[in-house]
Copies of this chain bind each other. A is one copy, B any other.
Amino acid sequence: MKLSFKNMVAAATVLGVSLAAGVSANAQDTLQDVMKKRGLTEKDILSAAKTYTPTGGRDEFIAFASGGQSGQIIVYGIPSMRILKYISVFTPEPWQGYGFDEESKKVLAMGNMNDQEITWGDVHHPAISETNGEYDGRYLFTNDKANPRIAVIDLHDFETKQIVVNPVFKSNHGGAFVTPNTDYVIEAAQYPAPLTNEYVPLSQFNEKYRGGVTYWKFDRKKGRIIPEESFTVEMPPYSQDLSDFGKGPSDGWSFTNSFCTERYVGGIENGRPPFEAGCSQKDTDFFHMVNWKKAAELVKAGKANKINGHDVLSIDTAVKEGILYLVPEPKSPHGMDVSPDGKFMIVAGKLDTHASVYSFEKIMGLIKAKDFAGKDPYGIPILDMKKSLHLQLSVGLGPLHTQYDSKPCIVYTSIYVDSQVTKWNYCEGKVLDKLNIHYNIGHLMTMEGDSVKPKGKYLVSMNKLAIDRFNPVGPLHPQNHQLIDISGDKMQLLYDMPIPLGEPHYAVAIAAETLKPIIRYKVGWNSREDVKHEYRSRPGREKVVRDGTNVHVYGTLIRSHITPEIVEVEQGDTVYFHMTNLERAQDQTHGFAVDMHNANLSVEPGKTATAKIVAKNAGVFPYFCSEFCSALHLEMQGYLLVKPKGTKSDASGPSVGTKYTEADYKGELATIKGTQDVINSVVGFITSQNYTDFKPVVALVEDATDQLNFAADAEKKHKAAAEKKDWQNATLWAQQHFQYQVKAADIGLRAKTYLEEHGSKTVKK
């Protein structure tokens, strides 16, 4: 029973092709059978057809949802509702190496505050960068409610690049939203607190606690926020909430709503009514209007005060300069949504039944005429609500957030208490449709619904409770995102998607074709700073450099070995493994884990990432590739040897296990020959086809060619060893030659299958 690889390769390949060609749908299954068996209605089948995406299919839209207290961003496809990625933002995550490699640790460290390491975030509102008010797919911004911060994610590689701490807030909520050309990112405070970092007793709440709205200057070219060119407008101690920027006629203004304008402070433990009672007393709260363009000019003109080193425009200055106004809005509002044409702002109050449509034109008229209804206790002019409104409409119990359709005047409002979505016409003030959701919808999302050109088609209802919608998985339930077809007159529920990790609050969806992510980095790339990595390495240039007790390993990763494979250090050393992934092939990521030292890297093609470990204890610690990268993945290993201090190195090298003879070498050569025959036949097939018409196949052929070049290098080595009758090394290098052949065959077979499945044509024989 000799295991002849050569014969088996040939047999299996032929078998695979012939059998695969014979696969077809089971004749006995009909759609009616399946519907009956699974209890599906015709409406269900229609919904299935509208969402099901066959293998290799593409989604039309990509959604970016906040992960809430998971500190991440969730990326999913619409209409398939398949989650494609969790992007780490504020929380360390080892699969991505985020917070484990030194490069991303630096990003996370930007977000530390209050002398504390912060290892999570409460991600609320992601925003996609815009050009002329349209989503351009370049950057994503999001806020952290619990620890007032903004993060910048580059959509060219879906990685977090920057975290900026708000120097004057103690919490936030109304961010991130962007100006039509992404000059500024907005972040509004939430719970009032002193803007300084002082302790101030609650007896001085009205006098010394404040809110605010921060305008973060964004440098599009660098892809980074510039804190020193950013500023905050001080606000009264109302709880500022959601924000939006104007566009078109309202460009230059921002709108931030608020709750608890009662300025109530609870204390149920002392018999005082709780916050929830005192903060929802009045029928109206206020939204804050700021002329941010003029505010930026005032800051440049030196009219701001420095608080914690940051420019803050005081309420007094803002009032005096005529850039800050208050407009009454229904109580405890949540959404603040400017219409695509910039003429209207829709607000809904969670403790009201109305959606309120404000007219920017009317408001500007009132401001111009100085026609104010009064002033708040801080001297800010208050506009008359009725005079500011285009109209109000009763849309349901607990309306919350409104999103725009591609069809003129059509909007959708989430109705929390009723667990419904209301479709209505905001020009005429008419309810058009209602749909039950499951259950307790928070925000909702239409496609590019925040932009100047909403795309319509789909709506996602982001439900806060799932309760009985899915198989039970313990006391902690998933969230439920429901996909709704809005292409027709009536809304149609299509799909229930559980969110398995995190609690999304807000989401934005972009046409998939607008996103152009890269598939590899330039070789030796520091992806977090987007520069060549200081410690990159190249094949054959790997080295270990000692600098006192710091040991720098300039290493590489490639299918299927790590260079170096043995690293010996002394107890107490700090070891930096700078690992460069030499692969160019798409999806050929390698991991790098050092056992028992809390180290794991995700090293995508071209990337250089650094694992820093402290060798606290002497011992033997394996390291390995933590991504199943190839057939020999388990053999992609090495040893970190930590010597007790002062121990001499053992120069005798590793002991030998199995010994090989000339016969072993000859055996290897036979296997190599047989394998080469198989490769030749696969190559023959591929080159007989119009394979250059298939981009993925061209990439595979390039990758296979690389592997065959490596094979040629190994061949030189085993021939040289054989000439010296060094059968040990000749046999081993011959095996390495064969390993590269296997990798080439793997890739070649994938290319062959691709051509067969995509109907390539024979162009030569």
Contact = CB atoms under 8 A, between A and B. Distances in A.
A753 B474 CA distance: 25
A369 interface: no
A19 interface: yes
Nearest to A156: B474
A130 interface: no
Interface in A331-385: 331-332, 334, 349-354, 385
A635 interface: yes
A593 B634 CA distance: 42
B475 A607 contact: yes
A1 B349 CA distance: 15
Interface in A74-126: 74-77, 82-86, 91-96, 100, 113-122
Contact of A49 (B34, B201, B655): B34
Contacts of A270: 566, 653
Contacts of A565: 266-269, 272, 274-275
A202 B655 contact: yes
A474 to B, nearest CB: 4
Contact of A67 (B95, B201, B488, B505): B95
A678 B77 CA distance: 40
A206 interface: yes
B475 A157 contact: yes
B654 A120 contact: no
Contacts of A491: 23
Contact of A417 (B500, B542, B655, B745): B745
A51 B49 contact: no
Contacts of A385: 1
A672 interface: no
Interface in A467-525: 467-478, 482, 485, 487-493, 495-498, 500-503, 505, 512, 515, 517-521
A763 interface: no
A264 B203 CA distance: 74
Contact of A657 (B263, B520, B750): B263
A757 interface: yes
A663 interface: no
Contacts of A643: 199
A251 interface: no
Nearest to A731: B281
Given A50-B34, A96-B476, A419-B750, A191 B624 contact: yes
B197 A619 contact: yes
Given A25-B46, A69-B602, A281-B732, 20 more contacts: A35-B49, A40-B49, A41-B54, A48-B48, A69-B95, A91-B92, A116-B597, A191-B624, A193-B619, A263-B657, A265-B566, A268-B561, A269-B565, A270-B653, A282-B658, A417-B742, A467-B587, A474-B518, A475-B517, A477-B586
Contacts of A263: 657-658
Contact of A478 (B85, B170, B394, B632): B85
A173 B624 CA distance: 12
A730 to B, nearest CB: 10
Nearest to A497: B82
Contacts of A750: 419, 439-440
A98 to B, nearest CB: 10
A280 interface: yes
B47 A52 contact: yes
29 contacts: A1-B386, A3-B283, A3-B352, A8-B352, A16-B415, A19-B431, A23-B434, A23-B435, A23-B490, A38-B49, A68-B627, A71-B94, A75-B500, A82-B497, A85-B501, A93-B501, A115-B616, A159-B474, A170-B619, A170-B622, A194-B619, A199-B647, A265-B639, A273-B736, A274-B736, A281-B735, A332-B632, A471-B512, A476-B589
A488 B595 contact: no
Given A147-B595, A395-B12, A622 B191 contact: yes
A455 to B, nearest CB: 16
A500 B74 contact: yes
A607 to B, nearest CB: 7
Contact of A475 (B43, B58, B199, B604): B604
Interface in A117-166: 117-122, 145-148, 156-159
A547 interface: no
Contacts of A647: 199
Contact of A267 (B47, B566, B658): B566
Interface string A301-340: 0000000000000000000000000000011101000000
A29 B12 contact: no
Contacts of A243: none
A596 interface: yes
A416 B156 CA distance: 31
B658 A269 contact: no
B277 A498 contact: no
A465 interface: yes
Contact of A52 (B23, B25, B52, B193): B52
A597 to B, nearest CB: 6
Contacts of A439: 750
A171 interface: yes
A115 B617 CA distance: 8
A632 to B, nearest CB: 4
The 7 A-B pairs at the shortest CB distance, nearest first, are namely A263-B657, A8-B353, A48-B52, A265-B654, A269-B564, A158-B474, A94-B120
A278 to B, nearest CB: 5
A531 interface: no
Name the residue among A264, A605, A757 with the largest chain B CB count within 10 angstroms. A264
A715 interface: no
A93 to B, nearest CB: 7
A685 interface: no
A565 B670 CA distance: 79
A178 interface: no
Contacts of A278: 732, 735
Contacts of A397: 8-9, 12-13, 16, 745-746, 749
B489 A26 contact: yes
